[in-house]
Each structure stands twice: as structure tokens, then as C-alpha cells.
Amino acid sequence: MNLSIVIPLLNEEESLQELHDWIVSVMRSNSFSYEILFVDDGSTDDSWQIICRLSRENSNVKGIRFLRNFGKSQALHAGFKAAEGEVIITMDADLQDNPEEIPELYRLITEEGYDLVSGWKKKRYDSFLSKNMPSKLFNWAARKTSGVKLHDFNCGLKAFDQKVVKNIEVSGEMHRYIPVLAKNAGFSNIGEKVVLHQARKYGKTKFGMERFINGFLDLITIWFVSKFGKRPMHLFGALGVLMFIIGFGFAGYLGIDKLFINPTGRLITDRPQFFLSLTAMIIGTQLFLAGFLGEILIRSRKNEARYTVSEETGHAQKEEQYSS
Ligand code: UDP
Ligand code: MG
């Protein structure tokens, strides 16, 4: 199968039929073998009924329905898990992303050898203040912290080589940072393509202004996890030891001063160095403990893959559906 088109959606009943017809016409005219995977993220309108009907009429349409709304990241996760195509496309269900871009995205992955190609809504049809400007700032920060040089992290239209989606875990609300997750997993060949963007035709956006606050927090998490997630002791342990040494230094100074230099001076507990010493040693111990607990946590999660396999040979090969 050439293509899996993964579409996360929440209450998009007005758009689904139109989106489906449009994708199908693009698939037909390029004679792609394909599947359309609608992931219904807990819609409360008729979206699921429409998906069921589409899937009865067109055997290439598959649907996954969540019991409740779990968020776009989880929807993508489920879609990635089920996808069987050699190239996986993600797109929004609201007709803002244009299916005509798919053939070129497919070509970039299969012929030019990109692991991931992200859409870039160079010309956006969203309101300037609530979206375009914060989004510029957001993308700039994401570029700086992650080192992934994309203009538009949050574009719903993206194309992936199958091995990328089978090797990354889109957890929490990390759908905005899939390229960063891919890069952390070792897929460095990340490209960008300018895509057409339309204004939302039906319904309204599912993410409000809080997206930017959450987005920045997620960015800090991802930066932090990618840097120290596998070695918390290197950060917390080092800081802890440093703090402790500072505290210990002050305590030593106070002790020597009291015993040998100025025994009749102020009480130790009246001096600021005493409090500095106390606080620094307590914080130092806490930081050290945090690092230590982190290390223990990592070691207890043995079965979770912390690496990305690039190739396999022999017996393992049969089990890996994505290596060809
Ligand atoms: N979406 C989803 N789960 C959610 C929120 C949104 O699956 O909890 C889907 C939504 O239906 C759409 C896509 O994610 O297909 C992008 O959402 P939206 O268009 O609201 O975001 P925007 O274009 O404003 O960034
Ligand atoms: Mg949208």
C-alpha cells in the first residue's frame, strides 16, 4: 500500500464527506493504493455515523473511534499504530489542508529520501492576532530549542516514512513537536514544503489561546526530556553536589571562625551564613535525591524502547512489519 492518510477529528461532520471525495479523487488520478484512517477523537456530533457510512461505501476507508475526547496527539498515535502504507500522511479534517499536496509529499519521501516532510502554511488564513503572531513567536522558540529548522511546527499536513511513525511515541500533547520527536529518535532528514492553506470552512477551531501556553510548556518538557531524560543524575546530581558543597563551605567557615578565630563573637545562629549554609545543604540533598530517583525510574522501565532500530536481519525481520 502506498499511502495511509491519518485524519484526527473532533466534531467535523460537515467536512468529512467533502474531504473524503477530494482525497479519493486525488488518489484515483495518481493511481495510488491507499487507506484513509479517520480517528474520531470522541466526537459528539454525527461524525462517527458518517465515517461508518463512508467505510461501507469505500473499502479503503477505516475508522477508529475513541470512547471520549483524548486529544489530537492520542488520535495521531492511534492512527500511526494502525497505518499500513509505506508513506503516512497526516491532515486535519477541517478542509484547511489541501489533499492536492499529497502526491508531491509522497514523492519527496519515496524519491528524495526524506524521513519526514512538514507542511508550511506560508500564507495563512487565520486571524492575525490570535494565531499568526503568537504562532511566529512559538515557531521561533521551537526552532531555537530543538534545532529543527522548520517554519511551521503546528501544520497538520505532514508526510512520514513508515519507519518514523512506528518508532515515535506521540504522548501528552506532543503533536506539535512530532518533527522534534522524530529528530530525537534519529531521523534527521526532515524537509519542509510550502502548502496551500484555506480558511476553516465549517465549524470552529478546537484549540483556543491556551494552545500557546500549553505549547510553550510542552516545548520546555521536550527540550528537557531530550537533553536529560536518559540521564537525570547528570543534571540534578551535579547541581545537588554543587549546592551541598557551597552549604558545607559556609558551615565550615562558621565552625572555624567560632572555634579558633572569633570565639566571643555573635552566635552562629545569628549570622546570615548560617541560613545560607542550611538552605544550600538541604536543597543540595533534595536535588541529588531527585536525580537519584530519576535514575531509578529509568531503570525500572525496562521494556520501553529507548532506541530506534534502523535495520534488522535474520529472525527479527519477519516480526517487524515496517522493515522491507
Ligand atoms: N482535533 C482532534 N482532537 C481534539 C482537537 C482537535 O482530533 O481534541 C482535530 C480537529 O478535528 C482537526 C484537527 O485536529 O481535524 C486540527 O484542529 P483545528 O482545526 O481545530 O486546529 P487549528 O486548525 O485551529 O490549529
Ligand atoms: Mg484547522
In contact, 38 and 9? CB cutoff 8 Å: yes
Tell me which residue has its CA closest to atom 24 in ligand 1. Answer: 205
Q: What is the C-alpha to C-alpha distance for residues 109 and 102, in angstroms, rounded to an integer?
A: 11
Tell me which residue has its CA closest to atom 13 in ligand 1. Answer: 92
Mean pLDDT of 34-49: 95
Q: What is the C-alpha to C-alpha distance for residues 294 and 231, in angstroms, rounded to an integer?
A: 8
72 lines ligand 1 (CB under 6 A): yes
pLDDT at position 223 over 90 = no
pLDDT in tens, 276-298: 999 999 999 999 999 999 999 88
Beta sheet of 158-161, edge-to-edge order? 61-65, 34-40, 3-9, 87-90, 158-161, 116-120, 190-194
Q: What is the C-alpha to C-alpha distance for residues 314 and 282, in angstroms, rounded to an integer?
A: 54
Tell me which residue has its CA closest to atom 23 in ligand 1. Answer: 205
Q: With bands split at pLDDT 50, 70 and 90, how would you rate the model's confidence at 313?
A: low
pLDDT at position 183 over 60 = yes
159 lines ligand 1 (CB under 6 A): no
The lowest-confidence range among 111-120, 155-164, 166-175, 300-309 is: 300-309
In contact, 292 and 237? CB cutoff 8 Å: yes
Residue 315 Cα to ligand 1 middle (Å)? 41
In contact, 9 and 93? CB cutoff 8 Å: yes
Q: With bands split at pLDDT 50, 70 and 90, how would you rate the model's confidence at 323?
A: very low
Mean pLDDT of 176-184: 91
The lowest-confidence range among 99-113, 165-179, 184-198 is: 165-179
Mean pLDDT of the chain: 89
Distant-in-sequence, close-in-space partners of 132: CB < 8 Å, separation ≥ 6: 124, 126
Instruction: Note the pLDDT of residue 315.
Output: 59
By the CB criterion, residues less than 5 angstroms from ion ligand 2 are: 92, 94, 96
